[in-house]
Amino acid sequence: MKKITFSLLFAAGIFLISCGDASQSSDSAGSAEQVVAGGQEAVQDDESQKDVVKIAVGSPDHTTLVAALKQAELVTALSNAGPFTVFAPVNAAFDQLPKGTVEGLMQDDKKADLQNILQYHVAVAVYKVENMKDGQMIGQANGDNITLTVKDGKVKVNGTANIVASIQASNGIIHVIDAVLLPPAK
Amino acid sequence: MKKFKQLAWLFAVVAFGLFGQQSCKPKGGSSGVGADAAAKAYVAPGTYDEFYNFVSGGFSGQMSVYGLPSGRLFRVIPVFSVDAEKGWGYSEESKPMLNTSHGFVPWDDLHHVALSVTKGEHDGRWAFGNANNTPRIARVDLQTFRTAEIIEIPNSAGNHSSPFITENSEYVVAGTRFSVPIGDNTDVPINTYKENFKGTVSFIGVDPTSGEMNLSFQILAPGINFDLARAGKGKSAGWFFFSCYNSEKANTLLEVNASQKDKDFIMAVNWKKAEEYAKAGKGMKKKVRYAHNKFNESTHTATSVIKEEVLVLDPKDCPDMVYFMPCPKSPHGCDTDPTGEYIVGSGKLAAVIPVFSFTKIQEAIAAKNFDGEYDGIPVLKYDAVLHGEVQKPGLGPLHTEFDGKGNAYTSFFVSSEIVKWNIQELKVLDRVPTYYSIGHLCVPGGPTSKPHGKYVVAYNKITKDRYLPTGPELTQSAQIYDISGEKMKLILDFPTIGEPHYAEAIPASLVMPKSKKIYKLEENKHPYAALGEGKAKVERKGKEVHVYMSSIRSHFTPDNIEGVKLGDVVYFHVTNLEQDWDVPHGFAVKGANNAELLILPGETQTLVWKPEKTGVYPMYCTDFCSALHQEMQGYIRVSPAGSNVPLTFSTGTNLPTDNK
């Protein structure tokens, strides 16, 4: 319940930002007022299909991922035209990590590490399940590769994370996975 | 060289010391600009303008949209001319919009804009524009900023006195500039003008819900030139006023021969009465030919229908419908003030601005206070209908707009200035120079019952030395003046597309909330739409090959096509599967002789391609759509006429495998 509340708050936060953006200047002389900085996540649009960020924000199973994307300052990038393939671990997947891992990554001095991990969950291009092949490697946004295994039509990432659902977004596709992908050690 | 520069600097510094800052300013440009001008026109990045400014494109045939007060250009709406940027007139779907009784007309001349009104005030629904050369009226939908409908006007030539609009958008009008021979025999000697040539003013009904236009009736008029017009408002709402010149009925060298008389006319039409006559069957149905073109928002396709009849009302059979008011020297502008009481005539060659009183017009009609007739139409006595004259206001008055505070703003072409004057007292209050040779002008809401005031925008003919030169042809130009105080103050020059004539400005709040973001795929009824990648296919119908193609970031389906043969005509029907605002896709195939495509989210558009050589032709997305835009491409193979290469298509699977 607590997590769902957090998710809602985050969603509300996004819409609050959007309300402050690009306000109409009824008095041109006063239009030099500070413009609220916001990327494409702040665009007001209830007509278009949701992008990958808006879908994640709307999912109660992805509150940890959404909070992490925010902390890593990736919300603006993932609201872009893309196209993206996002491998989106559910909250339970983050819970499987050693105790304290997520909390540690959420510290400001670990932002680069968090960015590296999250970017390892994103590819620039749309990879649909039906086009995935056994042994296929995909270059991820952080520069490392993931490897797919396909067996009986089921796809596994790096031999550990199962694709349990896929959701089409306006700017790409989300594959929901049941484990967090960890970039190869350097 | 370096020394010379140093010397020049030294000289400049001394000159600065001697003559002060003024001497360093570029000539002409900055005079009369206050220190706070920049702040008044500044709209900070990421903030919106207060007004949309819909500006006619003149000889380009288009309508453009700017923000006020920033002067930023948002969009050129293609109306009467083809436009590669929007695919207008190139896609198979949009071509019928430019059809006329003369066939496809790719380029016309749009002079005036009329925004729809309800109870005399802007309602933000439609913008109408006129085609001068091949007479037509267009309706632009302000949800899509696309031309939704075009209707041709028969018995007309040079549709200049158009598209002015009544108080509740009941009618837009179309008065002919050229009088022409009307009827069955139009092959007559030109010098029989006085016997054979007639004018018309047409009333085009506007459906209050859909906006759809219908040529309701025409009024037959003497063979003179109609120039501009305005509907009445409030008490005068049932009337329309048309400025007319060439009451001399000259058919050659009008520059001289149409300027002989001291007075021409404003034609006052009781359109409510005309409407009654039309309904009562007083008109004659005349055989004509005109095109009526509509763009269907669910099939994304235009249709053009030729109509063959028009109802013509002859004032001879319809008493109390039309009157002439004498107006000095070739009147151009003919503008009604926000109350509807005053009608301002602007004689291009006159030394006064006459202001007519609607109350006095009604009294003169009731008292039959006439000064004879012109071609059987009663002429009202000038003094009987005159409120008064503004004496020596400037040279070459053209157009007048209003601020809703009892003031009028008139443009003067010859003396290059805007003059502010009080309507009631007929006194000049202020004048400012324009740079240079102003034509039309625009106050936001200026032609409505409730002007928004704040600015007056000048649309100029001559731009010499105002901007960096660009060869013999210079940018077109507008200038914004702040009119919130007693004195008009120039705050900004901005370039426009060619050539601005009339324009209107409307508060953004009346248009912006209704602006459409995407076309919904579930509402797409295009017969060749591929509503999903699974629906993409290629079909042969004899020599026609129809490609039902989809596009989505960042690929086409199909993107490999084989089995097309020389002699085939290939139809690429491309559906943009995006449901995301501001994500169009483009489509181009090498060697296409006619066009490319631009497809908005959720839309289907068609390109016809007739390959003339065998080989493999690349095709790609032309609208920078995504990070993998450069990957959005495909191939189509063209084989000889007798080839047995089967028709196949695929994406991602590298088919066909059996005909390598």
Closest residue in chain A to residue B651, using alpha carbons only: A131
Q: Hey, are the CB atoms on B48 and A22 less than 8 Å from each other?
A: yes
Query: In one letter, which amino acid is A47?
Result: E
pLDDT at res. A10: 38
pLDDT at res. A33: 43
End-to-end CA distance of chain B: 70
In angstroms, the CA A61 to CA A63 distance is 6
SS3 content of chain A, % helix, strand, coil (to 5): 40, 20, 40
3-state SS, residue B169:
coil
Residues of chain B contacting A141 with CB distance shorter than 8 Å:
none
- What residue spans in chain B does CATH classification 2.60.40.420 cover? 521-650
The alpha-carbon gap from B50 to the nearest alpha carbon of chain A, in Å, equals 6
Token output for B288: 């004509």
Question: What's the complex ipTM?
Answer: 0.82
Quick one: average pLDDT of A7-17?
36
The pLDDT tens digits for B9-40 are 444 444 444 443 443 344 444 556 888 899 99
| Domains, chain A, ordered by start | 2-22+40-177 (2.30.180.10)
Q: Which of the residues A19, A25, A44 would you substitute to probe the B interface, choosing the one with the greatest number of B C-beta atoms within 10 Å?
A: A25
Q: Hey, are the CB atoms on A23 and B39 less than 8 Å from each other?
A: no
Q: Which of the residues A27, A28, A132 would you substitute to probe the B interface, choosing the one with the greatest number of B C-beta atoms within 10 Å?
A: A28
Q: Which CATH class is domain B521-650?
A: mainly beta
Q: Hey, are the CB atoms on A51 and B580 less than 8 Å from each other?
A: yes
CA-based R_g, chain A, Å: 18
- What residue spans in chain B does CATH classification 2.130.10.10 cover? 50-514
Closest residue in chain B to residue A125, using alpha carbons only: B628
The pLDDT of residue B461 is above 50 = yes
Token output for B605: 């558009």
In angstroms, the CA B586 to CA B574 distance is 9
- Vertex A30 angle, CA A29 and A36, to 5°: 135
Please tell me which of the candidates A21, A45, A82 has its beta carbon nearest to residue B553. Answer: A82
The pLDDT of residue B655 is above 80 = no
Residues of chain A contacting B41 with CB distance shorter than 8 Å:
28
Please tell me which of the candidates A21, A26, A32 has its beta carbon nearest to residue B44. Answer: A32
pLDDT at res. B95: 98
In angstroms, the CA B581 to CA B568 distance is 36
The pLDDT tens digits for B36-57 are 899 999 999 999 999 999 999 9
The pLDDT tens digits for B276-321 are 999 999 999 999 999 999 999 999 999 999 999 999 999 999 999 9
Q: Hey, are the CB atoms on A45 and B517 less than 8 Å from each other?
A: yes
The alpha-carbon gap from A81 to the nearest alpha carbon of chain B, in Å, equals 5
Residues of chain A contacting B43 with CB distance shorter than 8 Å:
25, 28, 31
pLDDT band at B589 (very low <50, low <70, confident <90, very high): very high
* Exposure string for B507-525, b = 16+ CB within 10 A, e = fewer: bbebbeeeebebbebeebe
Backbone CA torsion sign across B457, B462, B466, B472: positive
Burial class, B395, CB count within 10 angstroms (exposed 0-12 / middle 13-18 / buried 19+):
middle
SS3 content of chain B, % helix, strand, coil (to 5): 15, 45, 45
Bridging pattern class, strands B560-565 and B633-639: parallel
3-state SS, residue A92:
helix
What element of type H or E holds B100? Answer: strand B99-100
Q: Hey, are the CB atoms on B553 and A33 less than 8 Å from each other?
A: no
Q: Hey, are the CB atoms on A35 and B46 less than 8 Å from each other?
A: yes
In angstroms, the CA B171 to CA B66 distance is 26
CATH superfamily placement of domain B50-514: YVTN repeat-like/Quinoprotein amine dehydrogenase (2.130.10.10)
The alpha-carbon gap from A3 to the nearest alpha carbon of chain B, in Å, equals 29
Taking each helix axis from N to C terminus, what angle separates A2-20 and A63-71, rounded to the nearest 10 degrees? 40
Q: Which residues contact A100 (CB under 8 A, 6 or more apart)?
A: none
Q: Hey, are the CB atoms on A81 and B628 less than 8 Å from each other?
A: no
Token output for B430: 């202020």
Query: In one letter, which amino acid is B71?
Result: G
pLDDT band at B184 (very low <50, low <70, confident <90, very high): confident
Q: Hey, are the CB atoms on A22 and B580 less than 8 Å from each other?
A: no
Token output for B435: 């740079």
The alpha-carbon gap from B626 to the nearest alpha carbon of chain A, in Å, equals 5
pLDDT at res. B543: 97
